[in-house]
Structure 1
Amino acid sequence: MAATKADRERTEPPLTIQEMAQRSGFSEPTLRYYEKIGLLGPVPRDDSSGHRRYHAALAERVDALACLRSSGMSVAEMRRYLTLLDEGGRAAAAEQRDLFARHADRLSGEIERLRVRQAYMHSKADMWDARYRGDTDAEERAIEQVEHVLRRF
């Protein structure tokens, strides 16, 4: 049976800011900034040292934000996501759906642009390889491919 959040809170030691940074991929200054602007809420502190301690539920929130941020979601969009998450309900669910659908559409466009850039790089590599080998026919075909890809930009 899977452990509940409460069980994990009791059994998993809280993470230090260094551990949270390593786990999430965020830098320590970013974690402090996200706390300051309210994305994380107040991060509990160790009573003796005053150092930040990220318990399991807070670490999961940081992990979710790291996923959203790594996909290119803005801080404003992450803030909206968290607000809607707290609101709950059908209206919030519909807005969450729309938020994620818009972001997924943006990612689709970015992926297509990356595919064009990738095709350009492959074509240029083919062109330079043909030139290196002295194969003028292959070089001409590669140049045509480069020109074709450039028209897609």
Structure 2
Amino acid sequence: MSEFLFGSHVISRSVVFFQSRLSYAFVNRRPILPGHVLVSPKRVVMRFADMTPDEVKDLFIATHQIVPAIERHYRGTATNIAIQDGKEAGQSVQHIHVHIIPRKQGDFENTDDVYKKLQSHDKDDSTKFRSPEDMAQEASELAELFK
């Protein structure tokens, strides 16, 4: 598969760094911290409860495999793992996904500010999207972690 659908967005294979049977992981076009990546089911599924048991299992096994590699690669000392399930929870793309955000001491003045930033990062027009080339380079580096 050369591309994936992420809600109504097309995700190029060049920004995908991990695939399992039912899930894939890709770099974020507007990360809130270095290493902020997304894991999503391959099938477009809007809400967590709409996933099949196999999709839930696969998504969380994929997340479990990705977290330690991302944390090591970005020299994090902790990780936020978040799902915004529905519009009122801050979900901006109508496709369930897991945010993996490696953390370091002092990356936010108040540790929990990460949630405020996560809530607004897709709506913040002051932060530009990264270039496809930047994203492809990061995905290529991350893909090496899983070979």
What's the TM-score once normalised by structure 2's chain length? 0.25
Which has the larger helix fraction? Answer: 1
Task: Flag the structure with higher strand content.
Answer: 2
Structure showing greater relative contact order (alpha-carbon pairs closer than 8 Å, 6 or more residues apart): 2
Structure of larger gyration radius: 1
